């Protein structure tokens, strides 16, 4: 199997500290850089049709939820062949409301991704709050209110 095994990380699981490359600055960074924030981690690709609407929706969140600004990190993780492909697509679409990164196979496998789009909501303590939630904003808001996934 080229990607992950499809056994997505369960709520409450400590998230892997994957390496990512910032598409804008081309600098390596780690997921742990965002510890203490609620993190939305969306895996996507330019060639994935269902990913396009998910990415467009993700771009709308900063405008819809201004109170998230300093507390929520929206990370769009491209799994395209290289960062340049993603960079051109992001520029063409004007998708600059998310923190856009590129990830390689170890990151894809660490999160057990076998289909895209896949989105993880990660709580402030670095644990999975939800995977592919129906209502992403509701999960994020509950995390911000300090209601951990296990008590919902």
CATH number, domain at 37? 3.40.30.10
86 compared with 114, residue with greater pLDDT: 86
- Can you give the pLDDT at residue 82? 95
The pLDDT of residue 152 is above 50: no
**6 part of a folded domain:** no
Inside any domain, residue 1: no
Domain with 103, as residue range(s), is 19-151
Both structure tokens of 1: 């199997």
Nearest to 11 by CA among 103, 134, 114, 132: 132
Identify the CA nearest to 99 among candidates 44, 16, 23. 23
Residue 30 resides in a domain: yes
Which residue in 46, 37, 10, 21 sits closest to 120, CA to CA?
10
Residue 77 pLDDT greater than 60, yes or no: yes
Residue 134 lies in a domain: yes
Domain count, the chain: 1
* Each residue's pLDDT tens digit, 103-126: 999 999 999 998 999 999 999 999
pLDDT of residue 151: 44
- Report yes or no on 54 lying in a domain: yes
In a domain, 145, yes or no: yes
Mean pLDDT of 43-61: 97
pLDDT band of residue 1 (cuts 50, 70, 90) is: very low
Q: Give me the pLDDT at residue 149, please.
A: 53
Beta bridge partners of 130: 121
Tell me the torsion sign for CA atoms 117, 7, 10, 101. Answer: negative
pLDDT band at 7 (very low <50, low <70, confident <90, very high): confident
Report whether pLDDT(40) > 80: yes
Please give the structure tokens belonging to residue 53: 């609407």
Looking at residue 147, what is its pLDDT?
74
pLDDT of residue 113: 93
């Amino acid at each position: 199997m080229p990607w992950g095994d499809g056994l997505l990380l369960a709520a409450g699981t400590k998230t892997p500290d994957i390496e990512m490359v910032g598409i804008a600055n081309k600098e390596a960074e780690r997921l742990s850089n965002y510890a203490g924030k609620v993190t939305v981690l969306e895996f996507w690709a330019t060639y994935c049709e269902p990913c396009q609407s998910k990415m467009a929706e993700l771009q709308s969140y900063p405008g819809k939820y201004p109170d998230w600004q300093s507390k929520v990190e929206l990370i769009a993780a491209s799994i395209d062949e290289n960062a340049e492909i993603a960079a051109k697509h992001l520029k063409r679409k004007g998708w600059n409301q998310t923190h856009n990164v590129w990830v390689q196979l170890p990151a894809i496998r660490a999160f057990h991704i076998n289909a895209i789009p896949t989105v993880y909501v990660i709580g402030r303590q670095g644990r999975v709050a939800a995977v592919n939630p129906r209502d992403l904003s509701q999960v994020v808001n509950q995390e911000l209110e300090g209601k951990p996934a296990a008590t919902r």
